[in-house]
Amino acid sequence: MGKVLISNALQKNAVVLNVDSFNDKEAVFDFLADRLEQVQVVKNKDDFVAALNYREKLGPTYMGNFIAIPHGKSKTVVNPGVAFCRCRKPFIYKSADTAGEVKYIFMLAIPESQAANDYLRVLAALAGMLVHQEFIDALETIESYEQLLLIIEKWQ
């Protein structure tokens, strides 16, 4: 498999802007995993949520600065996919031994067959974008999938 670009994996129908908020991380996992199942990135939502929860045991996916990057690698993932959600109000996201307020969630779905280094490069590229305040500020103002795509293409 060649290099996976975030812009290529971003799923139009799994970009959700202006959700009121969530009660907890589990509600986010259910919501975005459902979107990834609808766009046929994952075959089975429950299996993918199990992969997300397994990954959570390995270390936090809360990144600080109102950002979380939950990700799961599983046989149920058909193609690499990225979902994004922006909440109107932050909620408390508990991950491993950390917790903090989150408004922006990037969820990565990784096929089990994908090489670990490809997947780590995608994660590193996304984390690299999220250290730039200008990128985060743009997440607050975008109003469409197309605008999000342009911002990611600019920074990737």
Q: What is the DSSP string of 63-82?
A: EETEEE--EEEETTB-S-EE
Q: Where do the domains of the chain lie?
A: 6-151
Domain covering 6-151, topology = Mannitol-specific EII; Chain A (3.40.930)
Q: How confident is the model at residue 3 (pLDDT cuts 50, 70, 90)?
A: low
Burial class (CB in 10 A: 0-12, 13-18, 19+), 53: middle
Residue with tokens 């989150």: 102
pLDDT tens per residue across span 104-147: 999 999 999 887 777 788 888 898 999 999 999 999 999 999 99
Q: pTM of the full predicted structure?
A: 0.94
